[in-house]
Amino acid sequence: MSTQHHTAEPASCIICDRPSSEGIHICGRLICESCEAEMVRTDVLDEKYPFFITQMKRVWYKKDA
């Protein structure tokens, strides 16, 4: 009996839009490990913080809706 391992198809990160098969999924949307780590380290006063907020809003919207 052989077992097949299915590797996850890379999905695009909702933050950086790069394909990745590793990261966290929120409501079926991917945040790659790199972006997740950067978001966790970003202070609310950092100039990149509003960018992350805007990108996170994409969790709630489907591409084809």
Convert the pLDDT of each residue in 7-62 to its tens digit: 557 899 999 999 999 999 999 899 999 999 999 999 999 999 999 999 999 888 76
Q: Is residue 5 part of a domain?
A: no
Write out pLDDT tens, residues 42-51. Answer: 999 999 999 9
pLDDT (0 to 100) of residue 2:
45
Q: Is residue 51 part of a domain?
A: yes
Total tally of structural domains belonging to the chain: 1
Q: Is residue 55 part of a domain?
A: yes
Q: Is residue 3 part of a domain?
A: no
Report in angstroms the alpha-carbon separations of 6 from 9, 29, 57, 63: 9, 19, 30, 25
Tell me the pLDDT band of 6, cut-offs 50, 70 and 90.
very low
pTM exceeds cut of 0.85:
no
pLDDT greater than 80 at residue 4: no
d(CA 4, CA 65): 34
Could you tell me the residue range of the domain that residue 24 belongs to? 11-60
